Amino acid sequence: MALSPAQVRLVDEQAHAARTMWNLLHEWWAMLPKERRSPAAADAAIRQARKEIDWLSVLPAQAAQAVLKTYFQAWKNCWAGRADEPNFKARCRMVMSVDVPQGRDLHITRVHRRWGMVGLPKIGRVRFRWTKDLPVGKRADADTRITGARLAKDALGWHIAFRLQTYEPAPEPHTGPEVGIDVGISVPLALSDGTTYDHREWLTEKERATLLRLEQKAARRKTYRRRGEKTSRRLRRTYDRIQELRARAKRRHLDWQHKTTTDIARKYSTVVVEALKITNTTRSAKGTVDSPGKKVAQKSGLNRSIHAEAWGRTVELLTYKTSRHGGTLVKVPAPGTSRRCSACGHTTPGSRESQALFVCKNPDCGWTGNADHNAGRNILHLYRMGLALIPAAGRAVARRARRVKPTTAR
């Protein structure tokens, strides 16, 4: 969004008011006895707080109701086992955001090909970049319409995302081939049919040099700050420029992931991936005082590279995109897929001679090929053998089905 300085201040105030509203609501919820907790009581408390506290009234009433709705949804997710308990939102760790739950308050108009105008409550008319087609004017109807929006802030500024309600027909079953995918670092995505998806550095050489210079400048300025002393404006500006470059790299990475996963979902009917536990993969190698770890610095660098590739986000994008195109995503057990020969099925020591070369040491086989391609073939073979893992919900249904005793019809 193209905001003026006055509008930036207004949106910042609304975001801080929304965060404070969440924290006050959480504290109110924790203090009340269980028998007095209810959405109606919470709604009354929010209305009273907006009347008595001036700086909470900068948040529109609909946005305050959205905070209440989100808070109760967080508890429902916790009770269903989908998430942890909601907690206080810290100013330094949260994403500043404001919700506009009603689409009729937006009044969207298109200025020209690149820009549009939107009306935000208590802020006014704001220009935004028109990056996707929106159902406004004659394109809007009862089936396809804008139901709301969400404002979010990152290091590059404030952005707006619109919520759409639309009806899409159920996709036809995908008739494409099956494929196994091995995720890695040197080769981000290696498919069982020999296809690879690679990317370059997210920042240019000039941007990487600028980032290094800014990080060195921040470290040097930080040494002059005394303990407990407030951060200087120069140091804050340096941190802001560092965050801007990192946010730009993250946005390019996300764009590559979206384009890559969309291409895979369109080509293949069944996508098979490993059921990786990334938290275990990126565990530190420091060890304990009695048994210290080895090659701690190398393991730390490997962990950073794994986090930078965002394997979990790639699987999450593939999950809903394969379903949207009529396909399915399946997970198989991960152990041994990189060390097992895809031709003979044997696991022999020393078969993976390097990061990119796999040479089977079985005297009766001797197959040679790309190591990532070999892992992708093993992943697909596990699925074809029927070793696909059942999701958590499916396991619960299966356990309940096993507990039911079969009956004989009379």
Per-residue pLDDT of the chain (410 residues; tens, 9 = 90+): 999 999 999 999 999 999 999 998 889 888 888 888 888 888 888 888 888 888 888 989 899 899 989 999 998 998 888 888 889 988 877 889 999 988 888 889 988 889 999 999 999 999 999 988 888 876 777 778 888 999 999 888 899 999 988 888 888 888 889 999 988 888 889 898 888 899 989 999 999 999 999 999 999 888 887 777 888 888 889 999 999 999 999 999 999 999 999 999 999 998 999 888 888 777 777 776 677 777 778 888 888 888 888 888 999 999 999 999 999 999 988 888 888 888 887 887 777 767 778 888 777 787 788 888 888 888 888 888 887 775 544 343 334 334 433 333 33
Q: For 185, which DSSP code?
A: S
Dist CA 109 CA 52 (whole Å): 36
pLDDT of residue 35: 80
pLDDT of residue 372: 84
Cα(first)–Cα(last) distance of the chain, in Å?
70
pLDDT of residue 398: 38
Say if CB 105 and CB 115 are below 8 A apart.
no
**Cα–Cα distances in angstroms (integers) from residue 26 to residues 68, 89, 225, 233, 390, in the given order:** 10, 10, 35, 33, 36
Give residue limits of the domains in the chain: 1-167, 173-282+309-405
Beta bridge partners of 162: 149
Dist CA 274 CA 276 (whole Å): 6
pLDDT of residue 289: 67
Quote the pTM value: 0.81
Class of domain 173-282+309-405: alpha beta
CB hemisphere CA count around 286 (13 angstroms): 4
DSSP letters for 59-118: S-HHHHHHHHHHHHHHHHHHHTTSS-------TTTSPPEEEE--GGGT--EE-SSSEEEE
Nearest alpha-carbon partner for 62 in 108, 16, 120, 110: 120
Say if CB 388 and CB 330 are below 8 A apart.
yes
Say if CB 25 and CB 42 are below 8 A apart.
yes
DSSP letters for 367-391: -EEEHHHHHHHHHHHHHHTT-PPPP
Strand order in the sheet with 270-274: 196-197, 189-191, 178-183, 270-274, 328-332
Strands (E), 184-312: 189-191, 196-197, 270-274
181: left (phi over 0), alpha (psi -120 to 50) or beta: beta
Nearest alpha-carbon partner for 329 in 288, 256, 380, 284: 380
- Following CA atoms 222, 225, 229, 234 in sequence, which dihedral angle do they give, to the nearest 10 degrees? -60
Say if CB 144 and CB 167 are below 8 A apart.
yes
Dist CA 64 CA 14 (whole Å): 10
pLDDT of residue 391: 57
Nearest alpha-carbon partner for 154 in 207, 241, 95: 95
Residue 277 DSSP SS3? coil
pLDDT of residue 143: 77
**Which residue pairs from 40-48 have beta carbons closer than 8 angstroms and sit at least 24 positions apart in sequence?**
42/68, 42/71, 42/72, 43/68, 46/21
Beta-carbon contacts of 189 under 8 Å, excluding residues fewer than 6 positions away, are 181, 182, 183, 196, 197, 260, 264, 314
**Cα–Cα distances in angstroms (integers) from residue 151 to residues 95, 96, 222, 245, in the given order:** 10, 8, 32, 21
User: What are the structure tokens assigned to 181, written together?
Assistant: 């995918």
pLDDT of residue 360: 82
